[in-house]
Chains A and B, each alone.
Chain A
Amino acid sequence: MFMDFVRLALKALSERRVRAALTITGIAIGPLVLVMMSSVVGSYSTYIEERITSLGQNAIAIFPTENYRLDEEDLNYIRAVESVKRAEPFYNTQGLVKRGTEEAKIAIFAVDYSLLFEAIGSLEIDEGAIPPETEVISSIIGRKIAYKNHERHFGLGDVVTVTVPKIEGGKITGKKTINLMVGAILKEYGGALIVDPDSTIFTCLEAGKRLFGMERWSGILVLADSPTNVKPIVSILRQYYEDKAQIIAFSSIAEAVSSVTSAINFINFSTSLSAFAVAIAGVAATMITSVMERTKEIGVMKAIGYTNGQILLLILMESIMMSLVGGTAGISLGVVGAYFLSSRGFRIGGIGESGITLQLSPLITPSLIAQTLTLTILIGLVGGVLPAYRASKIPPVVALRYE
């Protein structure tokens, strides 16, 4: 009987093709927007969260404010904090690398190599080996510095000429040129937003002071003994430094990004809901008109033995059918739209060579499709229930007299 009702509903819709098509178009907009936006936002937010998480779930960075200078005393204090596994200072600055005729913007990090590779677990050497800490001029360069469009610019042992700001008395007084040797080249990392290893030159800590002439530590990189101890350490350090330094845990950045993307998803969902609300009104209007036009037919159906419940189901089936078709069309178009949007890429600014451009496939998950389809079917149910109820309650004699 159910399949017969489906068939009768489809026949009824095919009789009023234009009206049904317009209603279906209205229904399709909600799922289209929801799938397109959610999958695109989802893919970027997942990627961003993954990349931030890859920086190390137990890493904490301490950045002093302009008026505060981190020194050995701070380092000793931090190392003494419970659950701190390691703490090392680092220098960082920005510079330019001459690559043929062009100059590329890069970031320079002078840091203890072993701490660096421990903090960013997914950082890997492609060519060469981590230089000894004693080789001050030896460096590790990012993939995008060594290569541009698959064209190799720097190989192992090559000299990289870097122009950096000249700092005297804590102020930039000009610029200076430093030659570094390529000791290792990193595998492509893919951009980590806060740090972009692909566009970074890593040197040993000593190089920061001796080659680049940086007098103040840019910060201290801290490793907790486990991710669960990151929050207590951050809490202790914030209490200790108050407004003298910024304490940033990479895991909390991931949480912040997650909450921002959740907010974006919520806004997107709310926007889609308004499209769904309009669709409900459209379905209701279509079905009320349809029921009015078919009042006599409903009378005949009742006369030949259809119960009120069966009439309700018949009418409701029509609105659900429209929702299913609209939902399927909307979801399909949403998938196409999501791939189109994703193909345009998304640029994120960052330290180094002026950020990265992400080009990701939309995150189209079965749960997103199921959630969207369920919402769309609800449109049919909510929009159709009142007209269907009214139709089911028309007394047969009244319906048969209707002209």
Chain B
Amino acid sequence: MLGKTQTKPIIRLVDVYKEYRVGAISTLALKKVNFQISNGQLIAIMGPSGSGKTTLLNMIGLLDRPSKGKIFFDGVDISRLDDRTLASLRNTKLGFVFQTFNLINRLTVFENIELPLIPRGIPRNLRAKMVLEALTKAGGEESWLHKKPNQLSGGQQQRVAIARAIVGKPVVLLADEPTGNLDRASAKTVVETFLNLNKAGHTVVVVTHDPEVANCMDKIYVIRDGEIVGEFPPKKSESLISKE
């Protein structure tokens, strides 16, 4: 069990810029972002569409490299790491949850959840145990294991996606608009799952434009035009889980 200590920064962004270029046109998606995530935190990153939320999440998730500035993961400057090492870090330390679930429909729920364990070379019998454990933790049911994702509802699919994200016991769970494609009831279940995972010791970072989801977290960062404009405490009374 991971402890909820909230002390040691696991990810630190220092003066991070991200510029996208299409021909002669350049767009600055992130501007001098300084930001850190400590172990055990429950964070929301809020902002309107095009504000740079997903770009920031991609940086935190080691999916992209900054145009300028530095990102430290567990104290190590990632600019010194090659793609293979970054892939290994993503596999062992990070878990991703996407708005559109991004499950592979030709594979069963079991096969989807076990995907991150394959590159680690974990034997199939041990994987079976880990998959069931992760699905249970994500609020899923054992009966789903042999179903295809498209045989499940949106909320159920997102729980499968969460199971896939946590099956490798990551340090940080990153979710990009995880409730964006769900009805309120399903969204509430998913948020509750994140809260439970955080209580179990996972660091959770949720990118959302939904204030009710953001207010469920411990801390809210607001991003606008590529800049973090402030850090706000959540209004628990206006959170999704406070409402019936």
B84 engages A308 (CB within 8 Å)? yes
Report chain A residues within 8 Å CB of B83. Answer: 307-308
Report chain A residues within 8 Å CB of B84. Answer: 307-309
B119 engages A1 (CB within 8 Å)? yes
B118 engages A11 (CB within 8 Å)? no
Q: Which of A211-219, A294-302, A341-349 contacts B (4 or more CB under 8 A)?
A: A294-302
Residue of B nearest to A294 (CB): B104
Give per-residue flags for B85-101: 1 if the beta carbon is below 8 A from chain A beta carbons, else 0.
00110111001101000
Interface residues on A, range: 20 to 34
Report chain B residues within 8 Å CB of A397. Answer: 58, 63-64
Count B-side interface residues using an 8 Å CB cutoff: 28
Distance (Å) between the CB of B202 and the closest chain A CB?
A: 16
Task: Given A1-B121, A4-B118, A296-B102, check contact A307 B96 (CB 8 Å).
Answer: no
Asked whether any CB of chain B lies closer than 8 Å to the CB of A257, the reply is: no
Residue of B nearest to A4 (CB): B118
A310 engages B119 (CB within 8 Å)? yes
A303 engages B63 (CB within 8 Å)? yes
Interface of chain A residues 35 through 77 with chain B (CB within 8 A) = none
Asked whether any CB of chain A lies closer than 8 Å to the CB of B115, the reply is: yes
Report the Cα distance A302→B62, complex, angstroms. Answer: 11
Residue of A nearest to B118 (CB): A4
Residue of B nearest to A307 (CB): B87
Report the Cα distance A12→B104, complex, angstroms. Answer: 10
Task: Given A4-B118, A309-B84, check contact A303 B92 (CB 8 Å).
Answer: no
Interface of chain B residues 40 through 98 with chain A (CB within 8 A) = 58, 61, 63-64, 83-84, 87-88, 90-92, 95-96, 98
Report chain A residues within 8 Å CB of B95. Answer: 304
Report chain B residues within 8 Å CB of A303. Answer: 61, 63, 90, 96
A305 engages B106 (CB within 8 Å)? no
Asked whether any CB of chain A lies closer than 8 Å to the CB of B164, the reply is: yes
A14 engages B106 (CB within 8 Å)? yes
Report the Cα distance A12→B98, complex, angstroms. Answer: 22
Distance (Å) between the CB of A354 and the closest chain B CB?
A: 63
Report chain B residues within 8 Å CB of A8. Answer: 107, 118
Report chain A residues within 8 Å CB of B63. Answer: 302-303, 396-397, 400
A304 engages B116 (CB within 8 Å)? yes
Report the Cα distance A4→B116, complex, angstroms. Answer: 12
B118 engages A12 (CB within 8 Å)? no
Report the Cα distance A69→B102, complex, angstroms. Answer: 93
**Most chain A beta-carbon neighbours within 10 Å: one of B84, B92, B102, B107:** B102
Report the Cα distance A396→B83, complex, angstroms. Answer: 11
Report the Cα distance A297→B98, complex, angstroms. Answer: 12
Report the Cα distance A338→B113, complex, angstroms. Answer: 48
Report chain B residues within 8 Å CB of A151. Answer: none
With A300-B104, A304-B91, A304-B115 known, 19 other A-B pairs at CB within 8 A are A1-B118, A1-B119, A4-B118, A5-B118, A11-B107, A14-B106, A15-B106, A300-B96, A300-B98, A300-B102, A304-B164, A305-B91, A310-B119, A395-B64, A396-B63, A396-B64, A397-B63, A397-B64, A400-B63
Closest 10 CB pairs of A and B: A305-B91, A15-B106, A307-B87, A304-B116, A300-B102, A396-B63, A305-B90, A397-B64, A4-B118, A303-B96
Which B residues have a C-beta under 8 Å from some C-beta of A? 58, 61, 63-64, 83-84, 87-88, 90-92, 95-96, 98, 102, 104, 106-107, 111, 115-116, 118-119, 121, 124, 164-165, 168
Which A residues have a C-beta under 8 Å from some C-beta of B? 1, 4-5, 8, 11-12, 14-15, 296-297, 299-310, 395-397, 400
17 pairs, A vs B, C-beta closer than 8 Å: A1-B121, A4-B118, A11-B107, A12-B106, A299-B102, A302-B63, A302-B87, A303-B90, A304-B95, A304-B96, A306-B91, A307-B88, A308-B83, A308-B84, A308-B87, A400-B63, A400-B102
